[in-house]
C-alpha cells in the first residue's frame, strides 16, 4: 500500500511531532509558504533551537540519500544546496509504520564530503537517480553506518531492520 505524496507528508508530520515529544524536543514552529523551501520546522532541545528539514521514506534503506538535484529538467538544485537547516531528519517506514529516525548534521556532512579522496568517492558513494515525486532526482547515497561512524549522523529512534536490497 502506498499513500499519495501530500497525504504521506501529512501523516509523517503527525508521527514526527509525536516522536519529537517522546524524545524531549519542543516543536517551536512548522514553517509554511516560501520559507519552507529552506527548512521545515524549528525544534528546541535543552534550550537550544535548531532548524530541521524532514524527509520520510516509505521503505527502509541502508543508505542516506543526499539530494543534489531535485529535478534534472527544469534544473532544480536539491536540499543539499538549498537547505538552511542545521539537521536533516530521515523517518523510515516499514509495513506502513514509523520505524527508524536518523539525524544528519549538515555541517558534519559537508565537512566529511570535503575530505573525501577519489577512492572515498568511488567506494563510499553510490549515485542514484529516482523517478518519483519531483521528476528525475539525483541522489548521492552513503551508508548510514559509515555516516554514524564519522560522527555526522546518529540514530534518534528505532532500530535497523535486516538489510534488504533497495527498491
pTM value surpassing 0.85 = yes
Which residues make beta-bridge pairs with 94? 97
* Segment 79-122, tens digit of pLDDT: 999 999 999 999 999 888 898 999 999 999 999 999 999 999 99
Contacts of 102 (CB under 8 A, 6+ apart): 64, 89, 90, 92, 144, 153, 154, 155, 156
- pLDDT tier, 53 (very low <50, low <70, confident <90, very high otherwise): very high
- pLDDT tier, 166 (very low <50, low <70, confident <90, very high otherwise): very low
* Segment 85-97, tens digit of pLDDT: 999 999 999 888 8
In the chain, what are the domain boundaries? 5-158
Contacts of 95 (CB under 8 A, 6+ apart): none
Specify the CATH number of the domain 5-158. Answer: 3.40.1350
CB atoms within 10 A of CB 7: 10
More confident residue, 166 or 116: 116
pLDDT at 5: 62
The C-alpha atoms of residue 28 and residue 165 are separated, in whole angstroms, by 37
pLDDT at 30: 96
Amino acid at each position: 500500500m502506498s499513500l499519495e505524496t501530500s497525504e504521506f507528508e501529512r501523516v509523517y508530520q503527525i508521527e514526527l511531532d509525536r516522536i519529537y515529544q517522546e524524545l524531549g524536543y519542543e516543536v517551536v514552529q512548522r514553517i509554511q509558504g516560501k520559507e519552507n523551501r529552506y527548512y521545515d520546522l524549528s525544534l528546541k532541545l535543552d534550550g537550544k533551537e535548531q532548524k530541521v528539514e524532514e524527509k520520510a521514506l516509505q521503505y527502509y534503506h541502508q543508505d542516506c540519500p543526499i539530494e543534489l538535484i531535485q529535478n534534472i529538467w527544469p534544473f532544480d538544485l536539491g536540499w543539499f544546496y538549498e537547505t538552511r537547516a542545521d539537521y536533516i531528519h530521515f523517518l523510515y517506514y516499514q509495513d506502513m509504520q514509523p520505524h527508524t529516525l536518523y539525524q544528519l548534521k549538515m555541517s558534519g556532512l559537508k565537512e566529511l564530503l570535503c575530505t573525501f579522496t577519489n577512492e572515498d568517492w568511488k567506494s563510499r558513494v553510490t549515485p542514484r537517480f529516482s523517478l518519483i515525486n519531483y521528476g528525475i532526482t539525483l541522489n548521492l547515497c552513503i551508508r548510514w553506518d559509515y555516516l554514524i561512524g564519522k560522527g555526522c549522523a546518529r540514530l534518534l529512534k528505532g532500530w535497523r531492520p535486516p538489510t534488504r536490497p533497495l527498491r
